[in-house]
Amino acid sequence: MVGAAAAQYTSPNYKVNETFFGSGGNLDNQSTNYKAKTAAGELAVGNISSPHFQANAGFNTTDTILLEVNVNGGVFDLGTLSESQVKVQSTTFTVKDYLSTGYTVQMVGRPPSNSGHELTAMSAAASSSPGTEQFGINLAANNLSGVGPFGAVPSQVPDATFGFGYAVSPYDTSNLFKFVEGDTIARSDKSTGTTSYTLSFIENMSRVTPGGSYGTSLFTRVIPTF
């Protein structure tokens, strides 16, 4: 059998086989007991970009497109709503994106409802107002009276060398909340390593909010851009 080899990057005028781009290395070292990628003397590492192109330098790269989303989901109980005290809850999700020009994050779902009555979604960014019916979210570090600190700003994992995701206005503003289904709440403008987001919810009721058990299902939708 004759093996076949192909360059990772080609044009009518050149080709680059990533295996030998640098002092040395191999993309596919393997035997019965191990498999590895090796490099010797890498000339450059990291993401290089401009308004018109981007590249990922370094031997240990791949030409496979990747969008990885992990959500710390589950069932969350905000407790019994009160006219005098806001109820809050936070959870996290991470996004990693490779070989696209970035991504957008949207929230999909409806405000919590009970017997046909939905808590009023905050259609414009506003602060928490106990006694006013409200449902809103943000991706920021917050500190509300009677609740204390909750939430966090987006963070890059392990650091900002390769991670570029960020929350967008107004969802990036501390102590301001909003919820419009389908709004973009976060994004990256290029391929990025892992960004960790903390999604915070608030709920407030008014004196005329119908009693009962409220619930909903919300989903994180991540869309790569090319």
pLDDT digits 0-9 by tens, 134-154: 999 999 999 999 999 999 999
What kind of fold does domain 68-224 have according to CATH?
Immunoglobulin-like (2.60.40)
Computed over every residue of the chain, the mean pLDDT equals 86
The amino acid sitting at 118 is E
Distance CA 97, CA 68 (A): 6
The tokens 């204390």 sit on which residue? 148
Residue 67 has pLDDT above 80, yes or no: yes
Q: Are 84 and 92 in contact (CB under 8 A)?
A: no
Measured CA to CA, the distance from residue 158 to residue 162 in angstroms comes to: 9
Least reliable range by pLDDT among 5-9, 31-35, 75-79, 202-206: 5-9
For residue 49, what pLDDT band results from cuts at 50, 70 and 90? low
Given its phi and psi angles, is residue 8 left (phi above 0), alpha (psi -120 to 50 degrees) or beta?
Answer: alpha
For residue 98, is pLDDT > 90?
Answer: no
Query: What's the confidence (pLDDT) of residue 101?
Result: 87
Over residues 173-193, the mean pLDDT reads 96
Question: Where does residue 106 rank: exposed (0-12), middle (13-18), buried (19+ CB within 10 A)?
Answer: middle
Residues in the chain: 226
What is the reported pTM? 0.77
Q: What does the angle CA 50 – CA 171 – CA 149 come to, to the nearest 5 degrees?
A: 120
Instruction: List, by residue range, all CATH 2.60.40 domains of the chain.
Output: 68-224
